[in-house]
A and B are shown apart, each in its own frame.
Chain A
Amino acid sequence: QVQLVQSGAEVKKPGASVKVSCKASGYTFISYGISWVRQAPGQGLEWMGWISAYNANTNYAQKLQGRVTMTTDTSTSTAYMELRSLRSDDTAVYYCARDRVGGGLTDAFDIWGQGTMVTVSS
Chain B
Amino acid sequence: QSALTQPASVSGSPGQSITISCTGTSSDVGRYNYVSWYQQHPGKAPKLMIYDVSNRPSGVSNRFSGSKSGNTASLTISGLQAEDEADYYCSSYTSSSTNYVFGTGTKVTVL
Chain A: residues with CB nearer than 8 A to chain B?
Answer: 35, 37, 44-47, 50, 59, 61-63, 95, 97, 100, 105-110, 112-115
Pairwise interchain contact B89-A45, C-beta atoms closer than 8 A: yes
Give 18 CB contacts A-B under 8 Å: A44-B3, A44-B105, A45-B89, A45-B105, A46-B102, A47-B98, A50-B99, A61-B98, A63-B98, A100-B48, A107-B33, A108-B52, A109-B36, A109-B48, A110-B57, A112-B45, A112-B47, A113-B45
Pairwise interchain contact B100-A112, C-beta atoms closer than 8 A: no
Partner of B48, one of A37, A47, A108: A108
Given contacts A46-B102, A62-B98, contact A108 B46 (CB under 8 A): no
Residues of A within 8 A of B93 (CB): 105, 107
Pairwise interchain contact B45-A47, C-beta atoms closer than 8 A: no
Residues of B within 8 A of A59 (CB): 99
Chain B: residues with CB nearer than 8 A to chain A?
Answer: 1, 3, 33-34, 36, 38, 45-48, 51-52, 57, 89, 91, 93, 96-105
Question: Whose C-beta in chain A lies nearest to the C-beta of B48?
Answer: A110
Pairwise interchain contact A100-B51, C-beta atoms closer than 8 A: yes
Question: Whose C-beta in chain B lies nearest to the C-beta of A113?
Answer: B45
A110-B55 Cα distance, complex, nearest whole Å: 12
Pairwise interchain contact B102-A44, C-beta atoms closer than 8 A: yes
B59 CB, min distance to chain A CBs, angstroms: 11
Question: Whose C-beta in chain A lies nearest to the C-beta of B37?
Answer: A108
A35-B101 Cα distance, complex, nearest whole Å: 12
